[in-house]
């Protein structure tokens, strides 16, 4: 929930109880800056990840199908040409 600093001041204890009971977090907008009120350690880092469009399937299908048919060998000099 995003609120102004004035609204936060008016409802301070109700909002503190709400956050402490695990019913969300409060985002306070103060002079263009956002201040987040959350319970310390209440969420794992992975819970804060933002979902993104992902590739479903085998990424190898995007490559040339003949790529995996021929053996590949690292040649130090040849593979590093033009990199320095």
The domain limits of the chain are 1-40
Name the percent of the chain lying above pLDDT 90. 24
The CATH number given to 1-40 is 3.40.1620.10
State pLDDT tens for residues 33-65.
999 988 876 566 777 788 877 777 777 777 766
Q: What is the dihedral of CA 54, 36, 18, 40, to 10 degrees?
A: 80
Question: What would the mean pLDDT of 26-34 be, rounded to a whole number?
Answer: 91
pTM of the model as a whole: 0.45
pLDDT given at position 10? 95
Contact by Cβ (8 Å): 24, 18:
yes
pLDDT given at position 14? 93
């Amino acid at each position: 929930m995003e609120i102004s600093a004035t609204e936060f001041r008016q409802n301070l204890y109700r909002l503190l109880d709400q956050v402490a009971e695990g019913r969300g977090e409060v985002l306070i907008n103060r002079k263009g800056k956002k201040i987040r009120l959350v319970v310390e350690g209440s969420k794992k880092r992975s819970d804060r990840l933002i979902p993104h469009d992902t590739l479903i399937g085998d990424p190898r299908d995007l490559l040339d199908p003949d790529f995996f048919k021929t053996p590949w060998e690292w040649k130090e000099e040849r593979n590093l040409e033009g990199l320095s």
